[in-house]
Every structure is written in C-alpha cells, then in structure tokens.
Amino acid sequence: MTGSRTSSYKLSKAGTAVQNLNRLTIGENPRINEKAIVGSEPLRSVSDLSVTIGNNLIALAGAIIYRGVKIGNDAALGHYAIVREENIIGDSFRLWSNSIVDYGCVIGNRVKIHSGCYVAQYTVIEDDVFLAPGVIIGNDPHPGCEFSTECIKKSGVTIRQGAQIGINCTILPGVTIGKKALIGAGSVVTEDVPAEKIVVGNPAKILKSIYEAKCTNGLTEKPYLRVKR
C-alpha cells in the first residue's frame, strides 16, 4: 500500500467509470478498462466509504470494486470480477472472470481466485491461497432462518496460509481449512481440514498427506516435497 496517492487524473485519462472521486486513493500506474467501475455505491449502509488501492491495479472490462474497500499493490481483476464493500485485501491479489468476493472478507497477500468462484461474506483467506475455478464458499448454515443475518457473522470460512482448493469444490459454513491443505476436485468440505492433508469426496475425508502425493507427469518425484514445513 506504500506510495499511494489520491489521483483523478490518471483514472479519468484511462476513461474509467470511477465514481465519487473524493475518498478514493489509488497508487501509481492503474490500468482500468473504460467498462470497469471503481467505487460503486453499496446498497448496504457502510460506515467507511473510502477506497484505498495500491500501485499497478489492473481492472478488465466489467470488473467492479465497491466503496469501502482496501486493496494492496499489484491487484488484477478479470472480466466481471466483483469485490463488494468492506473488504480488506493484501498485495498481488488475483480475481479472475466472473468471480465475486462478497462483503466483509479479509484476504492476505498473493491470493489467487480463479474464474467462476464465490467467496461468501466474512470469509478469511490467508496468504498464498489458491482457489481453482468454480470454488463456492458458504457462510449460512441454515439459509432462511430468521437469525441468518447475525449467524453468518459467526460462520465465515477460514482458509489458512498456502491451502489449495481444487476445481468445483464447495466449502460449507464455519469450516477452517488448515495450512497448505489440498482439497481434491469436486469435494464438499463439511468439517475442518487439518494442515498439510489432502482431502477428497463428499463429504471430504482425508486421503493422505500432501507429502505423499506423487507427480503424475514425471516432472518431479513428489510435488510438495519442497513446500516449507
């Protein structure tokens, strides 16, 4: 977030639909497509409507960043990637096309969220996490319950540092996925996952340690041997 400054010149020169330029602080060298929006007005009432974004933001056509958001340096948003209000996001963030980060999340550095993902409100994602295409994260154990609005605040998912979530996984409310865990493709995660384990299936169960996985293409003997323990 260092080197940030308030800038309207570069943004308007880039032709972007940047709304409410007061309380917008953005770093050097933004590349914002004319059909992207930075500073979209939330429907919810939000106490801090400021937007603070670091250097080198890339926002492709259709990307939308709401007000009340902090994002670090070197973020890139694909087409129709949406960051809702009250999100705090670190450096080198990637959010590819048709993915949504709903409001109230905290996301670390170097987090990559691929296409077609949904990250529910109050999710915490630590550094170096990867979400493959089609990952869906929930937060409401009993949708439609009269206490849902309060309940989701207590049921956000936590994904610890370096965890990798495979294609098309569903992560149920309240679950914590441990450090460097690997969630196999198509899994439904219903309970906490221990650190450094591979889980698969519906409901997801432990298959093995990540250190036991073998490379399928002969590039290395074991893919996670060099992961720092």
Name 51's bridge partners.
Answer: 24, 69
Q: Which one of the listed residues 5, 13, 44, 142 is annotated catalytic?
A: 142
| Nearest distance in Å: CB 129, ligand COA | 13
Give the separation between CA 138 and CA 119, rounded to whole angstroms.
7
| Nearest distance in Å: CB 166, ligand COA | 3
| Nearest distance in Å: CB 200, ligand COA | 4
114 is catalytic: no
Distances (CA, A) of 152 to 4, 58, 104, 135: 33, 31, 11, 19
* Strand duo 197-200 + 205-209: pairing: antiparallel
Which lies closer to ligand COA via its Cβ, residue 36 or residue 81?
81
| Nearest distance in Å: CB 191, ligand COA | 16
Which lies closer to ligand COA via its Cβ, residue 154 or residue 214?
214
Cβ neighbour number for residue 218 with a 10 Å cutoff:
7
Which positions ≥6 away from 107 have C-beta within 8 Å?
87, 88, 89, 90, 93, 101, 124, 125
Give the separation between CA 62 and CA 41, rounded to whole angstroms.
15
Which lies closer to ligand COA via its Cβ, residue 177 or residue 198?
198
Which lies closer to ligand COA via its Cβ, residue 14 or residue 167?
167
* Residues within the interface to ligand COA (CB under 6 A): 132, 166-167, 182, 184-186, 198, 200-201, 207, 213, 216
Cite the active site residues: 142
